[in-house]
Structure 1
Amino acid sequence: MDLFLLFIALSVSLTTITAHQESNSLKDLLSSGKSNRATNAACSDISGNWYNQHGSEIIFTPGAKSSLSGTFASTVSLYKNKRPTADPVNGKLVGYLQRDGSFGFAVIWDNASNQTTAYSGNCYPDENGEILIAAWHLAEKQHSIGDAWKGFRSGQDIFTRRKRLHHFS
Protein backbone atom coordinates (compact mmCIF):
# COMPACT_ATOMS: atom_id res chain seq x y z
CA MET A 1 0.00 0.00 0.00
CA ASP A 2 2.92 2.39 0.67
CA LEU A 3 4.12 1.92 -2.92
CA PHE A 4 0.62 2.78 -4.14
CA LEU A 5 0.53 6.00 -2.11
CA LEU A 6 3.98 6.98 -3.39
CA PHE A 7 2.87 6.54 -7.00
CA ILE A 8 -0.30 8.52 -6.40
CA ALA A 9 1.72 11.36 -4.82
CA LEU A 10 4.11 11.38 -7.80
CA SER A 11 1.20 11.32 -10.20
CA VAL A 12 -0.53 14.25 -8.47
CA SER A 13 2.69 16.25 -8.87
CA LEU A 14 2.77 15.39 -12.56
CA THR A 15 -0.85 16.45 -12.98
CA THR A 16 0.04 19.91 -11.65
CA ILE A 17 2.94 20.18 -14.09
CA THR A 18 0.88 18.82 -16.99
CA ALA A 19 -1.94 21.29 -16.27
CA HIS A 20 0.38 24.11 -17.27
CA GLN A 21 1.19 22.36 -20.56
CA GLU A 22 -2.38 21.79 -21.80
CA SER A 23 -3.06 22.51 -25.46
CA ASN A 24 -5.49 25.25 -26.49
CA SER A 25 -8.00 22.66 -27.72
CA LEU A 26 -7.99 20.95 -24.32
CA LYS A 27 -8.43 24.32 -22.59
CA ASP A 28 -11.36 25.07 -24.91
CA LEU A 29 -12.89 21.67 -24.10
CA LEU A 30 -12.68 22.34 -20.37
CA SER A 31 -13.87 25.95 -20.46
CA SER A 32 -17.52 25.03 -20.93
CA GLY A 33 -18.54 27.23 -17.98
CA LYS A 34 -20.16 24.43 -16.00
CA SER A 35 -20.23 24.93 -12.25
CA ASN A 36 -18.56 22.70 -9.67
CA ARG A 37 -22.03 21.53 -8.68
CA ALA A 38 -22.60 20.20 -12.24
CA THR A 39 -19.17 18.55 -12.15
CA ASN A 40 -19.93 16.88 -8.83
CA ALA A 41 -23.28 15.53 -10.03
CA ALA A 42 -22.03 14.29 -13.40
CA CYS A 43 -18.83 12.74 -12.08
CA SER A 44 -19.88 11.16 -8.80
CA ASP A 45 -19.95 7.69 -10.42
CA ILE A 46 -17.25 6.77 -12.94
CA SER A 47 -17.94 3.03 -12.77
CA GLY A 48 -18.09 1.13 -16.05
CA ASN A 49 -16.13 1.14 -19.29
CA TRP A 50 -13.89 4.01 -20.44
CA TYR A 51 -11.73 4.30 -23.59
CA ASN A 52 -8.75 6.54 -24.27
CA GLN A 53 -7.44 8.10 -27.47
CA HIS A 54 -5.43 4.94 -28.23
CA GLY A 55 -8.35 2.53 -27.82
CA SER A 56 -7.22 1.26 -24.42
CA GLU A 57 -10.05 0.26 -22.08
CA ILE A 58 -10.52 0.75 -18.34
CA ILE A 59 -13.32 -0.94 -16.44
CA PHE A 60 -13.88 0.76 -13.06
CA THR A 61 -15.70 -1.08 -10.28
CA PRO A 62 -16.70 1.09 -7.30
CA GLY A 63 -15.89 -0.14 -3.80
CA ALA A 64 -16.46 0.97 -0.23
CA LYS A 65 -15.50 4.46 0.94
CA SER A 66 -14.81 5.92 -2.56
CA SER A 67 -12.39 3.14 -3.49
CA LEU A 68 -12.03 1.92 -7.07
CA SER A 69 -10.83 -1.36 -8.49
CA GLY A 70 -10.93 -2.79 -11.97
CA THR A 71 -8.95 -3.72 -15.03
CA PHE A 72 -6.97 -1.86 -17.67
CA ALA A 73 -6.39 -3.25 -21.16
CA SER A 74 -3.75 -1.07 -22.83
CA THR A 75 -3.41 -1.15 -26.60
CA VAL A 76 -0.13 0.77 -26.30
CA SER A 77 2.94 -1.35 -25.80
CA LEU A 78 4.64 -0.81 -22.45
CA TYR A 79 7.96 -1.43 -24.15
CA LYS A 80 10.34 0.64 -26.23
CA ASN A 81 8.35 1.09 -29.47
CA LYS A 82 5.28 2.64 -27.70
CA ARG A 83 3.13 1.82 -30.77
CA PRO A 84 -0.48 0.64 -30.56
CA THR A 85 -0.88 -3.11 -30.65
CA ALA A 86 -3.86 -5.35 -31.45
CA ASP A 87 -3.02 -7.52 -28.41
CA PRO A 88 -3.66 -5.50 -25.25
CA VAL A 89 -1.40 -5.49 -22.23
CA ASN A 90 -3.64 -6.19 -19.23
CA GLY A 91 -3.42 -4.96 -15.66
CA LYS A 92 -5.30 -4.70 -12.41
CA LEU A 93 -6.01 -1.32 -10.87
CA VAL A 94 -6.79 0.06 -7.43
CA GLY A 95 -7.50 3.66 -6.49
CA TYR A 96 -9.90 6.27 -5.15
CA LEU A 97 -12.53 8.70 -6.46
CA GLN A 98 -13.22 11.95 -4.61
CA ARG A 99 -16.69 13.54 -4.49
CA ASP A 100 -15.50 16.41 -6.70
CA GLY A 101 -14.59 14.00 -9.53
CA SER A 102 -10.85 13.90 -8.91
CA PHE A 103 -9.32 10.43 -8.85
CA GLY A 104 -6.10 8.48 -8.61
CA PHE A 105 -5.24 4.85 -9.27
CA ALA A 106 -2.28 2.57 -9.86
CA VAL A 107 -2.06 -0.24 -12.41
CA ILE A 108 0.00 -3.38 -11.87
CA TRP A 109 0.60 -4.89 -15.32
CA ASP A 110 0.09 -8.66 -15.71
CA ASN A 111 2.38 -8.95 -18.73
CA ALA A 112 5.19 -6.79 -17.34
CA SER A 113 6.05 -7.65 -13.76
CA ASN A 114 8.67 -4.90 -13.56
CA GLN A 115 6.31 -2.02 -14.45
CA THR A 116 3.67 -0.05 -12.58
CA THR A 117 1.72 3.00 -13.76
CA ALA A 118 0.04 5.63 -11.57
CA TYR A 119 -2.74 7.87 -12.86
CA SER A 120 -4.28 10.99 -11.35
CA GLY A 121 -6.88 13.18 -12.94
CA ASN A 122 -10.27 14.77 -12.96
CA CYS A 123 -13.71 14.06 -14.35
CA TYR A 124 -15.51 16.79 -16.28
CA PRO A 125 -19.03 16.89 -17.70
CA ASP A 126 -19.33 17.48 -21.45
CA GLU A 127 -22.15 17.47 -23.96
CA ASN A 128 -21.93 13.66 -24.32
CA GLY A 129 -21.71 12.73 -20.63
CA GLU A 130 -18.36 12.81 -18.84
CA ILE A 131 -14.72 12.95 -19.81
CA LEU A 132 -11.72 11.84 -17.73
CA ILE A 133 -8.41 13.66 -18.16
CA ALA A 134 -5.48 12.03 -16.41
CA ALA A 135 -1.73 12.33 -16.19
CA TRP A 136 0.19 9.06 -15.89
CA HIS A 137 3.60 8.09 -14.65
CA LEU A 138 5.09 4.70 -15.57
CA ALA A 139 7.95 3.27 -13.51
CA GLU A 140 9.99 0.38 -14.89
CA LYS A 141 12.65 -1.28 -12.77
CA GLN A 142 16.08 -1.18 -14.43
CA HIS A 143 18.97 -3.63 -14.01
CA SER A 144 21.21 -1.16 -12.18
CA ILE A 145 20.81 1.99 -10.12
CA GLY A 146 22.92 3.84 -12.68
CA ASP A 147 20.22 3.15 -15.29
CA ALA A 148 17.28 3.95 -12.99
CA TRP A 149 16.62 7.26 -14.78
CA LYS A 150 15.74 5.30 -17.95
CA GLY A 151 12.80 3.64 -16.20
CA PHE A 152 10.37 6.58 -16.02
CA ARG A 153 7.86 7.80 -18.60
CA SER A 154 5.00 10.26 -18.25
CA GLY A 155 2.06 11.35 -20.34
CA GLN A 156 -1.60 12.26 -20.43
CA ASP A 157 -4.73 10.38 -21.53
CA ILE A 158 -8.29 11.48 -22.23
CA PHE A 159 -10.98 8.86 -21.55
CA THR A 160 -14.61 8.84 -22.72
CA ARG A 161 -17.36 6.27 -22.45
CA ARG A 162 -17.46 5.95 -26.25
CA LYS A 163 -15.27 3.33 -27.88
CA ARG A 164 -13.23 4.70 -30.76
CA LEU A 165 -12.24 2.77 -33.86
CA HIS A 166 -8.52 2.25 -34.39
CA HIS A 167 -6.49 0.64 -37.14
CA PHE A 168 -3.42 -1.31 -36.19
CA SER A 169 -0.55 -1.82 -38.61
Structure 2
Amino acid sequence: MGRFTIAAKHHITVAEIYETELTDMEKAVQNYEKAADYYKGENSTSSANKCLLKVAQFSASMENYEKAIEIYEEVAKPCMDNSLLKYSVKDHFFHASVCHMCMDTVNAQIAVKSYEEQFPAFSDSRECKLVKNLLQAVEDENVDQFTDVLKDYDSISRLDPFLTTLLLRVKKQLNAEPELC
Protein backbone atom coordinates (compact mmCIF):
# COMPACT_ATOMS: atom_id res chain seq x y z
CA MET A 1 0.00 0.00 0.00
CA GLY A 2 3.02 2.26 -0.14
CA ARG A 3 3.37 2.67 3.60
CA PHE A 4 6.85 1.18 3.59
CA THR A 5 7.81 3.76 0.98
CA ILE A 6 6.56 6.57 3.23
CA ALA A 7 8.50 5.15 6.18
CA ALA A 8 11.60 4.82 3.99
CA LYS A 9 11.34 8.46 2.93
CA HIS A 10 11.11 9.51 6.57
CA HIS A 11 14.22 7.51 7.41
CA ILE A 12 16.05 9.14 4.50
CA THR A 13 15.05 12.56 5.81
CA VAL A 14 16.31 11.66 9.29
CA ALA A 15 19.52 10.24 7.79
CA GLU A 16 20.11 13.45 5.83
CA ILE A 17 19.67 15.49 9.00
CA TYR A 18 22.23 13.31 10.80
CA GLU A 19 24.51 13.55 7.78
CA THR A 20 24.42 17.30 7.19
CA GLU A 21 23.35 19.07 10.35
CA LEU A 22 24.40 16.77 13.18
CA THR A 23 27.33 15.03 11.46
CA ASP A 24 26.59 11.74 13.19
CA MET A 25 27.49 9.29 10.44
CA GLU A 26 26.68 6.17 12.46
CA LYS A 27 23.07 7.25 12.97
CA ALA A 28 22.87 8.36 9.34
CA VAL A 29 24.02 4.88 8.31
CA GLN A 30 21.42 3.24 10.56
CA ASN A 31 18.63 5.29 9.03
CA TYR A 32 19.80 4.71 5.44
CA GLU A 33 19.90 0.97 6.21
CA LYS A 34 16.33 1.05 7.56
CA ALA A 35 15.20 3.00 4.51
CA ALA A 36 16.85 0.42 2.24
CA ASP A 37 15.08 -2.39 4.10
CA TYR A 38 11.72 -0.67 3.70
CA TYR A 39 12.34 -0.08 0.00
CA LYS A 40 13.24 -3.75 -0.42
CA GLY A 41 9.94 -4.59 1.24
CA GLU A 42 8.18 -2.61 -1.47
CA ASN A 43 10.35 -4.18 -4.23
CA SER A 44 11.80 -0.78 -5.02
CA THR A 45 15.29 -2.06 -5.78
CA SER A 46 16.70 1.14 -7.27
CA SER A 47 15.72 3.22 -4.24
CA ALA A 48 17.06 0.54 -1.90
CA ASN A 49 20.35 0.47 -3.82
CA LYS A 50 20.63 4.23 -3.64
CA CYS A 51 20.36 4.04 0.16
CA LEU A 52 22.75 1.10 0.33
CA LEU A 53 25.35 2.99 -1.69
CA LYS A 54 25.14 5.82 0.84
CA VAL A 55 25.66 3.25 3.61
CA ALA A 56 28.69 1.86 1.76
CA GLN A 57 30.19 5.31 1.27
CA PHE A 58 29.77 6.28 4.92
CA SER A 59 31.01 2.88 6.09
CA ALA A 60 34.17 3.27 4.03
CA SER A 61 34.61 6.82 5.33
CA MET A 62 34.44 5.43 8.87
CA GLU A 63 37.02 2.77 7.87
CA ASN A 64 34.52 -0.09 7.97
CA TYR A 65 35.77 -1.37 4.63
CA GLU A 66 34.39 -4.92 4.94
CA LYS A 67 30.84 -3.63 5.15
CA ALA A 68 31.39 -1.21 2.26
CA ILE A 69 32.86 -3.94 0.06
CA GLU A 70 29.98 -6.27 0.85
CA ILE A 71 27.44 -3.61 -0.12
CA TYR A 72 29.20 -2.59 -3.34
CA GLU A 73 29.38 -6.23 -4.41
CA GLU A 74 25.75 -6.85 -3.40
CA VAL A 75 24.55 -3.88 -5.45
CA ALA A 76 26.75 -4.75 -8.46
CA LYS A 77 25.67 -8.38 -8.91
CA PRO A 78 22.06 -7.82 -10.03
CA CYS A 79 23.16 -4.90 -12.22
CA MET A 80 25.28 -7.22 -14.39
CA ASP A 81 22.17 -8.84 -15.89
CA ASN A 82 20.28 -5.59 -16.45
CA SER A 83 21.12 -3.88 -19.73
CA LEU A 84 20.31 -0.44 -18.32
CA LEU A 85 22.34 -0.86 -15.12
CA LYS A 86 25.35 -2.80 -16.38
CA TYR A 87 27.31 0.41 -16.94
CA SER A 88 27.23 1.13 -13.21
CA VAL A 89 28.82 -2.23 -12.36
CA LYS A 90 32.32 -0.95 -13.11
CA ASP A 91 31.81 1.92 -10.66
CA HIS A 92 30.63 -0.42 -7.92
CA PHE A 93 33.55 -2.78 -8.49
CA PHE A 94 35.92 0.20 -8.64
CA HIS A 95 34.72 1.46 -5.26
CA ALA A 96 34.97 -2.04 -3.80
CA SER A 97 38.51 -2.39 -5.20
CA VAL A 98 39.61 0.88 -3.61
CA CYS A 99 38.15 -0.27 -0.28
CA HIS A 100 40.10 -3.51 -0.66
CA MET A 101 43.26 -1.46 -1.29
CA CYS A 102 42.68 0.41 1.96
CA MET A 103 42.69 -2.89 3.84
CA ASP A 104 45.17 -5.13 2.06
CA THR A 105 46.74 -4.99 -1.40
CA VAL A 106 47.02 -8.77 -1.79
CA ASN A 107 43.29 -9.20 -1.24
CA ALA A 108 42.70 -6.25 -3.56
CA GLN A 109 44.53 -8.05 -6.37
CA ILE A 110 42.48 -11.18 -5.76
CA ALA A 111 39.26 -9.13 -5.70
CA VAL A 112 40.10 -7.35 -8.97
CA LYS A 113 40.69 -10.71 -10.68
CA SER A 114 37.38 -11.93 -9.29
CA TYR A 115 35.58 -8.84 -10.56
CA GLU A 116 37.12 -9.30 -14.01
CA GLU A 117 35.89 -12.90 -14.10
CA GLN A 118 32.40 -11.95 -12.95
CA PHE A 119 32.10 -8.99 -15.31
CA PRO A 120 34.59 -9.13 -18.23
CA ALA A 121 33.78 -5.54 -19.29
CA PHE A 122 35.42 -4.39 -16.04
CA SER A 123 38.81 -5.52 -17.41
CA ASP A 124 38.67 -2.96 -20.21
CA SER A 125 37.53 -0.07 -18.04
CA ARG A 126 39.78 2.82 -17.10
CA GLU A 127 38.88 2.22 -13.47
CA CYS A 128 40.21 -1.34 -13.53
CA LYS A 129 43.41 -0.21 -15.20
CA LEU A 130 43.78 2.52 -12.58
CA VAL A 131 43.40 0.04 -9.73
CA LYS A 132 45.91 -2.36 -11.32
CA ASN A 133 48.44 0.44 -11.83
CA LEU A 134 47.95 1.67 -8.27
CA LEU A 135 48.38 -1.85 -6.93
CA GLN A 136 51.60 -2.18 -8.93
CA ALA A 137 52.86 1.09 -7.46
CA VAL A 138 52.04 -0.12 -3.95
CA GLU A 139 53.75 -3.44 -4.63
CA ASP A 140 56.83 -1.59 -5.89
CA GLU A 141 56.57 0.75 -2.86
CA ASN A 142 56.84 3.68 -5.27
CA VAL A 143 54.97 6.75 -3.99
CA ASP A 144 55.89 8.81 -7.06
CA GLN A 145 54.48 6.17 -9.42
CA PHE A 146 51.31 6.04 -7.30
CA THR A 147 50.93 9.83 -7.54
CA ASP A 148 51.65 9.89 -11.29
CA VAL A 149 49.06 7.19 -12.00
CA LEU A 150 46.45 9.17 -10.07
CA LYS A 151 47.37 12.42 -11.85
CA ASP A 152 47.05 10.77 -15.26
CA TYR A 153 43.63 9.37 -14.41
CA ASP A 154 42.44 12.57 -12.75
CA SER A 155 43.44 14.70 -15.75
CA ILE A 156 40.78 12.91 -17.83
CA SER A 157 38.18 11.86 -15.26
CA ARG A 158 37.98 13.76 -12.00
CA LEU A 159 37.98 11.62 -8.88
CA ASP A 160 35.24 12.47 -6.43
CA PRO A 161 36.22 13.64 -2.91
CA PHE A 162 35.20 10.29 -1.39
CA LEU A 163 37.56 8.29 -3.62
CA THR A 164 40.28 10.88 -3.19
CA THR A 165 40.07 10.46 0.58
CA LEU A 166 40.31 6.67 0.32
CA LEU A 167 43.22 6.81 -2.11
CA LEU A 168 45.05 9.27 0.16
CA ARG A 169 44.71 6.70 2.95
CA VAL A 170 46.35 4.11 0.71
CA LYS A 171 49.11 6.57 -0.14
CA LYS A 172 49.71 7.32 3.55
CA GLN A 173 50.05 3.59 4.20
CA LEU A 174 52.56 3.46 1.37
CA ASN A 175 54.51 6.35 2.91
CA ALA A 176 54.41 4.75 6.36
CA GLU A 177 55.70 1.32 5.31
CA PRO A 178 59.42 2.19 4.95
CA GLU A 179 59.44 3.89 8.37
CA LEU A 180 58.17 0.74 10.10
CA CYS A 181 61.05 -1.43 8.88
TM-score by length of 1: 0.21
Q: Which has the higher helix share?
A: 2
Larger relative CO (CA 8 A, sep 6+): 1 or 2?
1
TM-score by length of 2: 0.20
Q: Which has the higher strand share?
A: 1
